[in-house]
Structure 1
Amino acid sequence: MFVVARGVLGCGTVFLGSSGAPLITEIAHSHHRATATALFNTSYALGSIIAAWTTFGTFRIVGSAAWRIPSALQGLPSVIQLLGLWWVPESPRWLISKDRSEEALEFFVKYHAEGDENDLLVQFEYAEIQSALAYERSIDRGSAIKNYLEFLSGNAFISYYLSPVLTSVGLTTSLEQTLINATQQMLSWVSALYFATLPGKVGRRVLYLSSLSCIFLCLVCITAGSAVFASNPNNKAADSAVVAFLYLFSPAYNLGLNGNNGLYITEILPFSLRMRGRDCYHLFSTCFTLLTTYAFSVGLQNLAWKFYLIWVPWVLVEIFVVWLAFPETKGPSLEEIAIIFDGLQAGGLDTEKLEVEIEQEEVKKTVDVAK
């Protein structure tokens, strides 16, 4: 029953991951879109904190309550989400795609203009989305399978196997391991919240490259420290260095691969491919999770610290791919990002004049408020 329950949880997670980030991206105000979407995945760390401290307390319990209590607590966030979901508006882009344009316009007036129907930003967003969706309809391939074909034109071992990594450097007791796990998750959450505010300020590409570079440094130091400890178990400096860089690994990952990842995947895809893109992302992510679950434990057992050497060059490959193939998306609106990939015809609307008028109106509002 426990294994089946984990499978059901996994299915639910895929649905939430595929729909949550696109919905936030599509309903957020243009000035808040980057930070709002990047915050989407940061609550994972909050859940990890609760789970880590719960297991820190329950591992002392003799009997099935040791794992039943942490498992039962997982239901609370779902109850909160189910209750709150009734007050979440539908995506205006989805409404327009279903010929419910009046409802979409009402959304923009209510949530993006505080009830002002004549707001230039509302008119701009409404017209831009209509034009972009009209362009997407004109190039639609006519079937789900053909549309999926459009997509053809490593931190896991530390996250999933913290316990054996700690064991390899002499930290073997449940007290030590659960305490490190709990405090590490607290650092992870705080860093994830702060770093979610950065994509709109410094750009997505910069965060990707910075994060992967920091991950590379952490992996090299963890590998080196583990190797030194394996050759000399009395070397406490090596032990401490591994623990220190295990703590730093989470902030390094959160810098550019937590919230920034969900934001970038969501915004580089046009409306017709957005949900499909998230589905593909979760498909490959789940396949990789299966690999980490069943294969990595064997690698750690047989190779110990040498198993980490697989990931050091892999991160270098990721850095090269990001540098070569990931364009910056900071600045343009959600619809205008398509122009970066498909050219000016993808936007379907000459927005330069409207953008100037919006900037002038915002300056005027700022001056009025100052007066």
Structure 2
Amino acid sequence: MSSPGLKPTKGTFQLAGREFPRITWWKDPNLRILYFYILALIVTNTANGFDGSMMNGLQSLTYWQDYFGHPTGSKLGLFNCIMSVGSLVGLPLLPSLLDRYGRKSGIVVGSILMLVGIALQSGAVNFSMFIAARFLIGVGDVAAVTTAPLLIAEIAHVQDRAVLVTLCAISYYSGAFIAAWSTYGTLKINVSNSRFYNFPSNTTQSDWAWRAPSVIQGVFTVFMLAIVWFVPESPRFYISTDQPEKALNMLAHYHANGNQDDEIVQLEFAEINSAIAMDKIAGDKSSWLDFVRTPGNRKRLVLLLAIGFFSQWSGNGLVSYYLNLIMDSIGITDPNTQLILNGGLTTWNLVTNTIFAFYVDKFGRRMIYMVSTIGTLIAFTIWTILSAKYADTQKSGLGTGVVVMIFIYYFFYNVK
């Protein structure tokens, strides 16, 4: 027996205040299958990371710039923000979809919309077509990316749940890594003698330099859509829709190789039932006014809103969408160099984010968040000062300093 809140001893995990020996998942036939399915869910965020990094890389490609008339100002802003607009439109529709048709429906709908958007984006012949494609990708992306970690948490074995959800978050940088180096690899594509290239007549053969990364983006989404049909539905969804037998069958099949009397399966089943019953009771007795009814609730609401707001205003958006402009402003104008730096930064992010993810429980979330916030503030301040000094003096050393501070900034950003 273990006391709730205490860390389990080595080789065990906790459930309902009790300790159980850990299962070696790769030796368990049904867990192996389940975790392969979960890999497809993790890939949803890989596709998301690919998209963000790809747009950064495309802006350093000469052929993309030439094709769309070297967009600046509001036009460039629309290129980069339209995907987020699509996400804002799609997000309010998602809860009803997931509650009525199941968690998998979000990934299916999201994947289909993303594939349509990717096809339009890859074959875009003008500004409007590219913008429409980015909007559709945004709607689909928010459906898939929001649903995947939820479904992972609800179908994974309790012993691995936290790690698998964390891996889903980390996978963003794996996609960014692939996209960054893909755009670097396509920089000098020349298919003058190609027999397979047959895009509209107003395109040039070198357009593949920016179309190819978009086509690669679709590979992740195709994989997701192909596998999601075999992924088990959430037992929580089954219980919430009065299908407890299906929930128990799912838990038993994947967590205990079909043994419905397994103690862990019974505890998981009981916990889900209890949680849903409590949610229904709370829903009947609570209202939106409860958020501001007491001083404690008001404080928590302010903290939650502040964390959400400031995490989106932390400065990373500058690098995520306008790295090429930052490089231009400090004298690094060669597309080849810009793409190498973009690839190096995504590699740095992938490595540091993966390492830090496994120390969250050791140091505590509050401490990590404070270190990250203070570190990014200092790094961003120095970065801004060096950039301003470079604008006045044009000294190359200051430009190098900006690049170094960007890497230091992301070191602290990835802590959280």
Q: Is the Cα contact below 8 Å between 1:188 and 1:250 reproduced in 2? A: yes
Q: Does 1:133 align with 2:276?
A: yes
Q: What do residues 319-348 of structure 1 show as CA deviations (whole Å, max 9, x unaligned)?
A: xxxxxxxxxxxxxxxxxxxxxxxxxxxxxx
Q: Deviations over 1:239-287 (max 9, x none)?
A: 222111212333332221xxxxxxxxxxxxxxxxxxxxxxxxxxxxxxx
Mapping of residues 178-197 of structure 1, within 5 Å: 178-197=339-358
Aligned ranges 1:15-94 → 2 under 5 Å: 15-61=143-189, 63-94=206-237
Equivalent-residue separation in structure 2 for 1:148 and 1:84 (angstroms): 38
1:233 maps to which of 394, 399, 409: 394
Given that 2:331 and 2:396 are in contact with CA atoms closer than 8 Å, whether structure 1 keeps it comes out as no
* Distance in structure 1 (CA, Å) of the matches to 2:232 and 2:357: 23
Measure, in 2, the Cα distance between the counterparts of 1:151 and 1:78.
38
Residue type of the alignment partner of 2:234: S
CA contact (8 A) 1:45 1:189 kept: yes
**1:110-132 deviation per Cα after TM superposition (whole angstroms, max 9, x unaligned):** 33344443433322221121111
1:6 aligns with 2:134: yes
CA 118–202 in structure 1, closer or farther in 2 if over 3 Å, else same: farther
Q: Deviations over 1:3-37 (max 9, x none)?
A: 21111111110101221111111122223222211
Task: Tell me how far 1:100 sits from its aligned partner.
Answer: 1.3
Q: Higher relative contact order by CA 8 Å / sep ≥ 6: 1 or 2?
A: 1
TM-score by length of 1: 0.62
Counterparts in 2 of 1:260-339, with a 5 A limit?
A: none
Q: What residue is the counterpart of 1:254 in the other structure?
A: 414
Q: Give the direction of change, closer, same or farther, for the CA distance of 1:28–1:213 in structure 2 (3 Å limit).
A: farther
Structure-1 residue corresponding to 2:95: none
User: Does the CA-based 8 Å contact 1:35-1:199 persist in structure 2?
Assistant: no
In structure 2, relative to structure 1, the CA distance for the partners of 1:131 and 1:201 (3 Å cut) is same
In 2, the alpha carbon distance for the partners of 1:25 and 1:101 equals: 18
Shift of 1:78: 0.5
| SS of structure 2 residue aligned to 1:64 | helix
Give me the CA root mean square deviation.
2.5
Where in structure 1 are there 5+ consecutive unaligned residues?
Answer: 257-371
Instruction: Give the Cα separation in 1 of the matches to 2:153 and 2:399.
Output: 43
Write the letter of the residue equivalent to 2:238: L
Q: How many residues align?
A: 252
Give the 3-state SS of the residue equivalent to 1:63 in structure 2. helix
CA distance in 2, matches of 1:34, 1:18: 16
Tell me the distance in 1 between the aligned counterparts of 2:361 and 2:155: 17
2:318 alignment counterpart: 157
Amino acid at match of 2:237: W
- Check 1:99–1:43 CA distance in 2 against 1; reply closer, same or farther (3 A cut): same
* Structure 1 CA distance for aligned equivalents of residues 287 and 234 of structure 2: 21
Segments of 5+ residues of structure 2 without an aligned counterpart are 1-128, 190-204, 293-300, 302-313
Q: Does structure 1 retain, via aligned residues, the 8 Å contact 2:235–2:248?
A: yes
Residue of structure 1 in register with 2:404 after alignment:
244
Output the CA distance in 2 between the equivalents of 1:227 and 1:27: 51
Conserved 8 A contact 1:228-1:235: no
